Chains A and B, each alone.
Chain A
Amino acid sequence: MAEMAITRKNNSARDLGLMLVVWSATAIIIAAFTWIIGDFIIHGFERLSWSFLTTSPSNAGRSGGIAPILVSTLLILLIAITVALPIGVATAAFLSEFTRVGGRVRQITTLSLDILAGVPSIVFGLFGNAFFCIWLGLGFSILSGGLTLACMVLPILIRTTQAGLSSVPDEWRRGASALGLSRGAALTHILLPAATPAIAAGLMLGIGRAAAETAALIFTSGYVDRMPSSLDDSGRALAVHIYDLTMNVAGGDANAYASALVLISLLILINSVAVTLTNRYGSQRITAS
């Protein structure tokens, strides 16, 4: 975008006004961000240590670490991804390669996915509780939680994969078709590999959204802070742990801040990977076309 910067000098008052607004908005955002992150670092940093990450919580989470909670969180995310990724990519492939632009199928599916993306996470939680925990009999378990999150991240995955596929140059589609390749072959050998960075970025976004989730998990994966021994076990996710320590456990604040710091670092890591992938994807598109 730097090459778009306008170099022409201008002293008009309105231009100055715009600069003022933009700079102060930027300043406000940076200040708020520093304040929040600073608060978490100040309160959480001293508790943070290797042993915090590797020991079990004790005394209702006031002391001890978060090892089983990290494991549960990762397992929940793993299930969510394993389930959502194939369905999401398949749906996106269907929408972008097997339906027409402006066709009714694509419009209706896209609209319903947009709605799904906007459904509040707590509704997903209640749905997951009723459908996975009770109706399918999975109970409060990592499996239920993972499946619920899979439903939640599905629209995000589909949306980004679809965007990725649609920015693959049409020449490759035509080329593949002219060689007598089926759409399936074109998808597996050319289109999906070319859209991989976009899919990965969507995946990271989805994971980020899922890892930060509290409301959907309280009712599905539950509350147990023991090291899970199978996917049928209830397992407490990091965000649920923070919520419980903050709202329900006297003297839990220090560990809540430390856990929040861990979660923020985790999410920031995931997000930067997503951003990097998106950027690389953007530049790749330029070199390819």
Chain B
Amino acid sequence: MISSKSSFSFLWRNDKILGRVLWASACLSTALLILIAMFLVKESWPVLTSIGITRFITDAGWYPLEKLFGLAPMLGATVIVSTLAVLIAAPLGIASAIFCSFIAPRRIAQAYRSLIALLAGIPSVAYGLWGLTVLVPLIGQFQPPGASLLAASLILSLMILPTIALTTDAAISTVPKSYLQGATALGLTREATIIKVILPAARASIGAGILLAAARALGETMAVLMVAGNVVQFPTSLFDPMRTLTANMALEMAYATGDHRASLFVSGLMLTAIVMALATLAWRLSGGRVHG
């Protein structure tokens, strides 16, 4: 028998050591989230204790220099703009995945897929720049000032569209072929097969993809800042300007000190809490098996 205690391979032979090393890096990765959460709490602690969390919801406006800390309109705006973006992008993304999987000839589908991948490659500042110079003036012609909920939702939906299209495409491709054969054998039309058989079968993964996209929309900063108008208010129409929590941080962080700065960290904390809720929801939806 070969000696099993060779010095060269002893590290690998001993899975315990390797296990510990890998475990440590997994801990590091997990600790990162805790570290970030702790840091957010620490930075926002001064205002959380001196002002209290309720005033961030109840204050009439956001004028931290005048000691008004109402984040509620921004919280609302963040949720509204992300929801709208998902509502615009999801049908488009799902339709485009259907196009890829069922309608387009193979070559066109491939070309179209790379087009979507390219769309995913456009950085958010570029979307912002385009939005600021093209989209906002365009909307402004009809309904000034142009920088608005609509502009922000449109830009965001363009940004998250590739995510939805690609994940839906992948989800559809995992639906067993036998479903399709079964449906065809039953004489179902193409429309019925897609709508009633394929999409419901891929529902969970599509949902997870959409939630992923929603998280991206919630967290997007620069592009929204450039096109949303940034007025702190509950948007009551599509053409109202509004400010998101991320834009709030980016706009004011560099200029903020003291309580103002700490209250911006409360924005971050709230946002992270929303994302946490979303991620947990996605996780529940997919029964704890989001990724392999």
Contacts and interface: CB of A to CB of B under 8 A. Distances in A.
A and B: direct contact (Cβ < 8 Å)?
yes
Interface of A: 1-2, 4-6, 8, 10, 12, 14-15, 17-19, 21-23, 25-26, 28-30, 32-33, 35-37, 39-40, 86-88, 90-91, 93-98, 102, 107-124, 126-127, 130-131, 151, 154-155, 158-159, 162-163, 165-167, 182-185, 187-188, 208, 211-215, 218-219, 239, 242-243, 246-247, 253, 256-257, 260, 263-264, 267-268, 270-272, 274-275
B291 A163 contact: yes
Instruction: Please give me the 8 A-B residue pairs with the lowest Cβ-Cβ distance, nearest first.
Output: A120-B219, A212-B123, A25-B95, A118-B215, A2-B106, A166-B292, A94-B22, A184-B12
A115 B279 contact: yes
Given A123-B249, A188-B12, A267-B121, 20 more contacts: A1-B109, A6-B102, A6-B190, A18-B190, A25-B99, A26-B96, A29-B115, A36-B127, A39-B134, A87-B29, A96-B292, A107-B288, A112-B29, A118-B212, A118-B216, A118-B279, A130-B39, A182-B18, A267-B123, A271-B117
23 contacts: A1-B100, A1-B101, A6-B190, A8-B184, A8-B189, A23-B103, A35-B134, A36-B127, A36-B158, A37-B118, A110-B291, A112-B33, A115-B280, A117-B279, A120-B272, A122-B219, A182-B12, A183-B15, A215-B246, A218-B254, A239-B123, A267-B123, A271-B118
Nearest to B132: A246
Given A19-B103, A127-B36, A151-B32, A33 B12 contact: no
A61 B22 CA distance: 45
Given A90-B21, A94-B23, A263 B271 contact: no
B242 interface: no
Contacts of B276: 115, 118
Contact of A118 (B100, B122, B130, B219): B219
A204 to B, nearest CB: 10
A272 B110 CA distance: 12
B160 interface: no
B116 interface: yes
A263 B100 CA distance: 27
Interface residues of B, number: 102
Given A115-B279, A118-B278, A270-B121, A184 B15 contact: yes
B191 A14 contact: yes
A248 to B, nearest CB: 11
B154 to A, nearest CB: 9
A236 B212 CA distance: 29
A30 B115 contact: yes
A94 B279 contact: no
B169 to A, nearest CB: 8
A1 B175 CA distance: 11
Nearest to B98: A22
B51 interface: no
B79 interface: no
A2 B122 contact: no
A118 B214 CA distance: 9
A242 B129 CA distance: 9
B75 interface: no
B114 interface: yes
Contacts of A113: 29-30, 33
A109 B29 contact: yes
Nearest to B290: A114
Nearest to A244: B125
A85 to B, nearest CB: 11
B173 interface: yes
B40 A123 contact: yes
Contacts of A90: 21-22, 25-26
A29 B121 contact: no
Contact of B18 (A14, A184, A243): A184
